[in-house]
């Protein structure tokens, strides 16, 4: 059985590499963005491995590797670095074919999804052998949005503020803007990943602001790591908004309970939730945690908590305010 799986995996990678293309020489604009990215990393201390949790130690190790890779390698190929493939990029995943089939069988495949999942060259993503214009990771993110829209009967592009907790390298943000989103998008993450997100999204031509200029604009992205600044910006926005979305795919369910409490306190007035979570993580039973959290959250929310049949051991949790 192990030999069969190994052969299948090798064949999958072979078909992927058939569609692969080398990178061209960097443009002047790319060189500027690379230097900006490296300059930010030089200001960030390399974290030590002294966290009290296994998850904290693991993320510290990932960040350490990212510092080394960025210093010695071409960031235009960051989506091929092992640290990225391990933490935030679906490649050779057993659920990819099922998710891709859901997209192509959706009535909006030709009008929306086919174009929405066309990949860019930023990061040099591996092409998906069944649809070389895309990648498994972008398909994975599109499937999350598809499921959210089917269950909640809401279009993600109609939100005016999206707050993503743990945004990977910015792929979901990129997809949502491509789907027609016109509002503000906040990504909260470690400083190193905030820098990587800024590099990726700026490379795509999206408007990425700092905390001083974000509020003055009606649309655009803020990549932030300061929890107090996050609270202030969201509180200011929510004073005149009823259409905010909280988004977290396998991020909030990996954090300590105290951090979850802080984040959910910040989002307590949000109208929509798109969460994907592991049913258990470390010593935490996430199914029980989210069951209790939902019951205490608000009577004005309708929840959709569903196990992923194609990705066992994981659940979707979608929420929609009854007043919407």
- The pLDDT tens digits of the residues spanning 222-256 come to 999 999 999 999 988 765 557 999 999 999 999 99
pLDDT of 24 > 90? The answer is: no
| Contact (CB, 8 A) for 201 and 208 | yes
Q: Residue 253 has what DSSP assignment?
A: G
| Distance, CA of 173 to CA of 199 (rounded, Å) | 13
pLDDT of 130 > 70? The answer is: yes
> Which residues on adjacent β-strands are paired with residue 33?
none
Mean pLDDT across 296-300: 78
What is the per-residue pLDDT for 109? Answer: 98
What is the per-residue pLDDT for 144? Answer: 98
Sign of the alpha-carbon torsion through 236, 164, 193, 266:
positive
| Distance, CA of 181 to CA of 277 (rounded, Å) | 24
What is the per-residue pLDDT for 7? Answer: 43
| Distance, CA of 253 to CA of 191 (rounded, Å) | 20
- The pLDDT tens digits of the residues spanning 248-280 come to 999 999 999 999 999 999 999 899 999 999 999
pTM metric for this prediction = 0.92
- The pLDDT tens digits of the residues spanning 82-118 come to 999 998 999 999 999 999 999 999 999 999 999 999 9
User: 314-321 and 301-307 as β-strands: parallel, antiparallel, unpaired?
Assistant: antiparallel
Q: Which pLDDT band, with edges at 50, 70 and 90, does 10 fall under?
A: low
**Per-domain residue ranges of the chain:** 153-321
Query: What is the residue-wise DSSP string for 25-62?
Result: PPPHHHHHHHHHHHHHHHTSPPPPS--SSHHHHHHHHH
| Distance, CA of 39 to CA of 14 (rounded, Å) | 37
What is the per-residue pLDDT for 57? Answer: 74
Mean pLDDT across 155-167: 97
For the chain, what percent of residues have pLDDT higher than 90? 79
Mean pLDDT across 58-81: 93
Q: Which pLDDT band, with edges at 50, 70 and 90, does 1 fall under?
A: very low
| Contact (CB, 8 A) for 187 and 267 | no
Q: Report the residue count for the chain.
A: 324
Query: What is the residue-wise DSSP string for 126-160?
Result: PPBTTBTTS-HHHHHHHHHHHHHHHHH---GGG-S
What is the per-residue pLDDT for 4? Answer: 35
Q: Which pLDDT band, with edges at 50, 70 and 90, does 55 fall under?
A: low
CB atoms within 10 A of CB 179: 17
What is the per-residue pLDDT for 8? Answer: 43
CA nearest 308: which of 221, 250, 228? 250
Mean pLDDT across 296-321: 92
Q: Which pLDDT band, with edges at 50, 70 and 90, does 298 fall under?
A: low
CB atoms within 10 A of CB 29: 11
pLDDT of 153 > 90? The answer is: yes
Tell me what the pLDDT averaged over the chain comes to.
91
| Distance, CA of 130 to CA of 37 (rounded, Å) | 33
| Distance, CA of 217 to CA of 201 (rounded, Å) | 17
CB atoms within 10 A of CB 280: 14
What is the per-residue pLDDT for 17? Answer: 62
Q: Which fold has domain 153-321?
A: Rossmann fold (3.40.50)
What is the per-residue pLDDT for 150? Answer: 98
CA nearest 275: which of 260, 258, 296? 260
| Distance, CA of 224 to CA of 282 (rounded, Å) | 27
- The pLDDT tens digits of the residues spanning 177-192 come to 999 999 999 999 999 9
């Amino acid at each position: 059985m192990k030999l069969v799986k190994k052969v299948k995996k090798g064949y999958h990678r072979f078909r992927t590499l058939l569609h692969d293309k080398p990178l061209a020489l960097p443009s002047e604009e790319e060189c500027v963005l690379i230097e900006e990215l490296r300059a930010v990393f030089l200001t960030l201390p390399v974290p030590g491995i002294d966290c009290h949790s296994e998850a904290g130690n693991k993320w510290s190790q990932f960040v350490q590797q990212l510092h080394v890779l960025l210093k010695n390698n071409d960031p235009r190929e960051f989506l091929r670095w092992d640290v990225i493939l391990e933490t935030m990029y679906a490649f050779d995943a057993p659920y990819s074919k099922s998710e891709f089939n859901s997209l192509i069988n959706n009535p909006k495949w030709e009008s929306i999804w086919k174009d929405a999942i066309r990949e860019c060259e930023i990061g040099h993503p591996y092409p998906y052998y069944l649809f070389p214009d895309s990648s498994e990771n972008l398909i994975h993110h599109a499937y999350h949005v598809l499921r959210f829209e089917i269950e909640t009967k809401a279009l993600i592009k109609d939100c005016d503020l999206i707050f993503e907790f743990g945004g990977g390298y910015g792929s979901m943000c990129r997809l949502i803007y491509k789907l027609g989103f016109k509002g503000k998008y906040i990504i909260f993450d470690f400083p190193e990943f905030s820098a990587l997100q800024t590099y990726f999204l700026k490379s795509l031509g999206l408007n990425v602001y700092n905390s001083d200029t974000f509020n003055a604009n009606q649309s655009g992205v803020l990549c932030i790591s300061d929890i107090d600044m996050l609270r202030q910006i969201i509180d200011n926005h929510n004073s005149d908004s009823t259409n905010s979305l909280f988004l977290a795919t396998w991020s909030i369910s990996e954090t300590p309970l105290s951090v979850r409490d802080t984040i959910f306190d910040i989002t307590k007035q949000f109208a929509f939730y798109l969460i994907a979570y592991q049913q258990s993580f470390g010593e935490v039973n996430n199914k029980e945690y989210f069951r209790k959290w939902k019951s205490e959250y608000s009577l004005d929310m309708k929840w959709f908590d569903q196990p992923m049949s194609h990705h066992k051991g994981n659940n979707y949790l979608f929420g929609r305010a009854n007043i919407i």
